[in-house]
């Protein structure tokens, strides 16, 4: 059986300020960066095998993915269409 892992982006400046981001893109905070690095360590320690990696087109999402899995190729999706 296939498994799908979903993860929200790490903490951003707008998150701290209580602002809605929508399509705006605020940078990750230092805490967000540290949290993403720790999460990446925990995921790698589990030795899970992933077939593919995807991120939204928002920089906060792709920045988080790059911290979780450095040097990993991934696709950036604007939207997912149901078949």
Structural domain includes residue 20: no
Percent pLDDT > 70 in the chain is 99
Residue 15 annotated as binding? Answer: yes
Which distant-in-sequence residues (6+ apart) come within 8 Å of 65 by Cβ?
53, 55, 72, 74
Q: Answer yes or no: is 71 a known binding residue.
A: no
Question: Binding residue per annotation — 12?
Answer: yes
| 16-25, 28-37, 63-72: range with lowest mean pLDDT | 16-25
Query: Which residues constitute the domain of residue 40?
Result: 26-77
What pTM did the predictor assign?
0.86
Query: Is position 11 annotated in a ligand binding site?
Result: yes
- In-domain check, residue 15: no
Question: Is there a binding annotation on residue 4?
Answer: no
Domain count, the chain: 1
Residue 12 counted as domain residue: no
Burial 6-37 (b: 16+ CB within 10 A, else e): eeebbbbebbeeeeeeeeebbebbeebbebbe
């Amino acid at each position: 059986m296939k498994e799908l892992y979903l993860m929200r982006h790490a903490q951003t400046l707008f998150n701290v300020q209580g602002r809605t981001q929508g399509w705006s893109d605020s940078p990750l905070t230092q805490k967000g960066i540290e949290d993403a690095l720790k999460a990446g360590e925990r995921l790698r320690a589990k030795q899970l095998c992933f077939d593919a990696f995807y991120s939204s087109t928002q920089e906060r999402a792709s920045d988080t993915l790059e911290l979780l899995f450095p040097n990993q190729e991934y696709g950036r999706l604007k939207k997912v269409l149901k078949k």
